[in-house]
Structure 1
Amino acid sequence: MAPTSETLTAERILEATEEVLRRHGPAKATVVDVARVLGVSHGSVYRHFRTKAVLREAVTKRWLDRTTAALSGVVTEDADPETRLRDWLAALFAAKRRKAGDDPELFATYQVLTVENGEAVSAHLADLTGQLARIIEDGVDADVFTAPDPEATARAVFHATGRFHDPGYAAAWQRHDIQTEFEAVVDLLVRGLRG
C-alpha cells in the first residue's frame, strides 16, 4: 500500500467508496477495497466511519443530497409559484433520469443501498416534500394555489408524481412517450392546485 500525500478526509473516503461500489457492486465492496483505492489502511477509514454500515449510509446520504441541493435553487428562484412547481418537478425527473441513464451500474447499486438505509431515505424524502411545501405555500400566499394544508398537499403531489422519480420506475423513464405523460400529470396537478 503506497502512502498517500493527500490528507484523508471523509469526503475523499466517500468518493473512493463510490468508485469501489461502482466497480464491485454493493455485495462485494469492502472497506479494505476503499482503503486500497486511497492507499491507506482500513483502520484509517474506520477512524472516519466507525462501521461499514455507517460508511454505506454516508455515501447513500451524499448521493441523495446531491438531488436535494440541485432542487433547492428552484425553490428560491425568482419566478411565480406555478412556474417554480413545474420547474421543480421537471428538475427532479431530469435528475433521476440522468442518474439512471448516465451510470446504470451505480444507480443499481444505490437502489440496493437505499433499501439498507431507510433513515437516510426518509430524511431525503422529508427534505424534498419540504421544498415542495414551500413552493405550494408561496402559491397559497400569492393566491395562485388553493391548499388548506401545504405540507399534506406537497406529500400528495410528491406521491402523485412518483412514477417520474421513484427508482422502481426507472425502466419506464426511457420510453419515448414518458415526457408527454409527465407533462400531462403535472398539468393535471397544477389545475387541481389552482382550485
Structure 2
Amino acid sequence: MAPPTETLTAERILEATEEVLRRHGPAKATVVDVARALGVSHGSVYRHFRTKAALREAVTKRWLDRTAQKLAVIVAGDGAPEELLRAWLAALFEAKRHKAGDDPELFATYTVLTDENGTVVGEHIADLTGQLTRIITAGAGSGTFSVSDPAAAARAVFQATGRFHDPCYAREWTAPGVDEEFTAVVDLLIRGLSSPSP
C-alpha cells in the first residue's frame, strides 16, 4: 500500500490500475480495488478519472503509447529510409511479442481492454501509420521509394504486416520460422516500395 502522504497523481493511479488488472483481470478489477491498492478512497480515484470506463481507457492508452514512443525514436533517428523502415517494423514486432510473452496475463487483459476502447486503438493505429508515413515520405523524397501517396503506402505496409503486430496473431509470434517469415514479408514490401511505378 502506498504511503498516504504521497501525492495522488493520475500516473500513480494508472500504475496501480495496471497492477490490479494483472492480479484480478479485467472482469473482476474494480475502482475500489485500485483505491485500496493506493490506500485512498475510491472517491479520490474518481476525482482523476470520472468513470471506471475512463480509467480503463486511460490505462489502455498508456499501454499503447509505450510502443508508439519507442517507435517514434526510430522515426526521428538517422539512417537511410529503407533501414529506418526495417528497424521500425522489427521494433513493432518485437515490442508486441515481448508484451505477449513477458507478461501473458497483462497482455490478455489488454486484449480485452483494447476491444472495449475502439477510439483509443484507432488513435494508436493513426499514430503508427503516421510514423510510417514520415519514413516513407522521406524515402520518396530521397528517391529510395517510388510512391506517389506515402500515406496510402504506409497504411498498406501496416496492414500487410498485421500478422506480426495484431494481437489476434499473438499465438503465432513464437512459432518456428516466424522470424524468417517476417523478414520475407518486409523484403517483399521494400522491393514493392522501391520499384518504379508502372
Q: TM-score range by the shorter chain?
A: over 0.9
TM-score, with structure 1 as normaliser: 0.99
Q: Distance in 1 between matches of 2:130 and 2:96?
A: 18
Aligned to 1:40: 40
Q: Distance in 2 between matches of 1:146 and 1:4?
A: 59
Aligned to 1:64: 64
Q: Distance in 1 between matches of 2:4 and 2:156?
A: 49
The answer to whether residue 195 in structure 2 is matched with residue 182 in structure 1 is no
Aligned to 2:138: 138
Query: Which runs of 5 or more structure 2 residues have no equivalent in the other structure?
Result: none
Rate the CA distance shift 1:68–1:3 in 2: closer, same or farther, 3 A: closer
1:95-114 paired onto structure 2 within 5 Å: 95-114=95-114
Runs of 4+ aligned structure 1 residues displaced above 6 Å come to none
Aligned to 1:78: 78
Aligned to 1:171: 171
Query: Displacement, 1:176?
Result: 1.7
Are 2:2 and 2:37, in contact at CA under 8 Å, matched by a contact in 1?
no
Query: What amino acid maps onto 1:140 in structure 2?
Result: A
Query: Displacement, 1:3?
Result: 6.1
User: Percent of aligned pairs with the same residue?
Assistant: 72
Q: Distance in 2 between matches of 1:166 and 1:85?
A: 18
Query: Displacement, 1:2?
Result: 8.2
Query: Which runs of 5 or more structure 1 residues have no equivalent in the other structure?
Result: none
Q: Distance in 1 between matches of 2:36 and 2:15?
A: 13
Aligned to 2:129: 129
TM-score, with structure 2 as normaliser: 0.97
Aligned to 2:9: 9
Query: Displacement, 1:61?
Result: 0.2
Classify the secondary structure of the residue corresponding to 2:183: helix
RMSD: 1.0
